[in-house]
Amino acid sequence: METTLRGVGVSHGVAIGEVRHMGTAVLEPPAKQIPPEDAAREQARARKAVEDVAADLIARGNLAGGEAQAVLEAQAMMAQDPELTADVNRRIAVGSTAERAVYDALAAYRALLAGAGEYLAGRVADLDDVRNRIVARLLGVPMPGVPDSDEPYVLIARDLAPADTALLDPTLVLGFVTEEGGPTSHSAILARALGVPAVVALPGAGELAEGTVIAVDGSTGEIFVEPSAEKKAELEAAAARRKAALSASTGPGATSDGHKVPLLANVGGPADVPAAVEAGAEGVGLFRTEFLFLDDSKTAPSEEKQVEAYRQVLEAFPEGRVVVRVLDAGADKPLDFLTPADEPNPALGVRGLRSLLDHPDVLRTQLTALAKASEGLPVYLEVMAPMVADRTDAKAFADACRAAGLRAKFGAMVEIPSAALRARSILQEVEFLSLGTNDLAQYTFAADRQVGAVSRLQDPWQPALLDLVALSAEAAKAEGKSCGVCGEAASDPLLACVLTGLGVTSLSMGAASIPYVRSTLAKYTLAQCERAASAARAADTADEARTAAQAVLSGE
């Protein structure tokens, strides 16, 4: 009998197929003792397994490219953490086998992360995957991961590690469903980049029996178990209509009455550029530069290396707008040469612009590299700082840009509620704002963006979050400046209309979402978008806001 379940839709599209479950986690190794003379051999085994797993993760990242590459390289750094290595060696020295020492050392590390809050607790799934891969290699058993199948299927997992999500084959994995995660988790972001329909935060997903036919609607978050022929036909027809509308929609982003809303792409590096160009992106609204720095956490990349990488992206958008975010390090992206190692709560500590202002040489080198990379190009370069809290932060960043001889617009990301509340003050120092709705939601609701249990508070439809967006957009309009959105909220076509109605001047998203947003935005006038925005802000919950906006736009 057909039943309906509801999770959080994080990647557009419909997938209908049989359930296949993710490979089970590695079993706990036995706690047996080794004689002292075997310790050196076991330590060598552990070291070799760690090196092999790190190399495999980096190789997967090189294949995947873009955002996935940065995520997987960060995971490889986890595996090679010197403190973790020292702990493994100590455990082996007192009698543990290599596999047991790795298991126990990572269990202790896991407990620390789980209790750390914010970003670090959200890395538990990544750490579990590292542990499973190292222990599997030591035990000589198959790696946990995506199941082998010759037929297309819908993948079910408790959570998906970045290493698995990054290399999913869209011709076999029709879509995926996870019990954990949230709309801004690594899995969700990578799913959107791949264009694979996905639903996360679905309690009990693991109880769906292997081989069960389900239909996944990545837009609504609905899962239809054993769907009827009528339901399948209805979903397939809706998907076909969507596809036709996408094909028919081309050109710059705009409402039906011609109000322009530039649609830009979020990119993690040169590897993401071809997909952005193919999707018709009008430029780049968020160029994450971390990928360069994560290659080697111990030293910053040279100015020459940075110039080469930045120029590749800038050259892809002649006459287009490219917004570069300077290095956003700290919290879940620690760098040995930049971020403190002993912060009790890194997400609330020295991260983003704070790290760069503590290390002005790193900021100066990056800004100088951007200045050189843009020389002679007709691109409209804009450079923004992450984690700006107030006017003092904004002034420090603008001063650094001018000192580096950067000919570009200087901007500030609004990711902290204080920045939204004092946006007009910040705009006395910079020329534009860009809303990072993922972090803005996290800090507004004290809700870790990686924890499925608080995913309702990470919903970008939360009226309190819309209020902060409206405050920022109103401040920018009053100052005659621009205010874009580069967080994941922009990838929701309906919400894109609401954001436009709130006064946002540009929208930036993963390339796969651009056709959906362009097509939807073109259906409505600016006045309709403004009425939908007012209705959403008048609601009390995210679900009510979404329903109210939909009712306005559908003419109900």
Q: 293 and 327 in contact (C-beta within 8 Å)?
A: yes
Q: Residue 310 has which token pair?
A: 């930045």
Strand order of the β-sheet with 3-6 is: 3-6, 222-225, 213-217, 14-21, 153-157, 173-178, 198-200, 8-11
Residue 259 appears among annotated catalytic residues: no
Q: Given 186, 359, 483, 497, which residue is catalytic?
A: 186
129 vs 49: CA distance, rounded Å: 14
Q: Residue 238 has which token pair?
A: 């809706």
Q: 324 and 404 in contact (C-beta within 8 Å)?
A: no
Q: 125 and 178 in contact (C-beta within 8 Å)?
A: no
**DSSP secondary structure string for all residues of 227-277:** --HHHHHHHHHHHHHHHHHHHH--SS-B-TT--B--EEEEESSGGGHHHHH
Q: Which of 347, 413, 414, 408 is nearest to 380 (CA)?
A: 408
75 vs 58: CA distance, rounded Å: 9
| Cβ-proximal residues to 104 (8 Å cutoff; 6+ apart), any chain | 91, 96
End-to-end C-alpha distance for the chain, whole angstroms: 32
Q: 219 and 20 in contact (C-beta within 8 Å)?
A: no
Q: Residue 239 has which token pair?
A: 């998907």
Residue 186 appears among annotated catalytic residues: yes
416: helix, coil or strand? coil
Hey, how many other C-beta atoms are within 10 angstroms of the C-beta on 268? 22
| Cβ-proximal residues to 266 (8 Å cutoff; 6+ apart), any chain | 272, 284, 285, 286, 288, 486, 508, 509, 510
Q: Given 12, 401, 483, 486, which residue is catalytic?
A: 486
515 vs 374: CA distance, rounded Å: 28
Residue 352, sorted as left (phi over 0), alpha (psi -120 to 50) or beta, turns out to be left
In degrees rounded to 5, what are phi and psi of residue 499? Answer: -60, -40
Q: 227 and 213 in contact (C-beta within 8 Å)?
A: yes
**DSSP secondary structure string for all residues of 437-486:** HHHHHHHHHT--TT-GGGGGGG-TT-HHHHHHHHHHHHHHHHTT-EEEE-
What residues are labeled active site? 186, 486
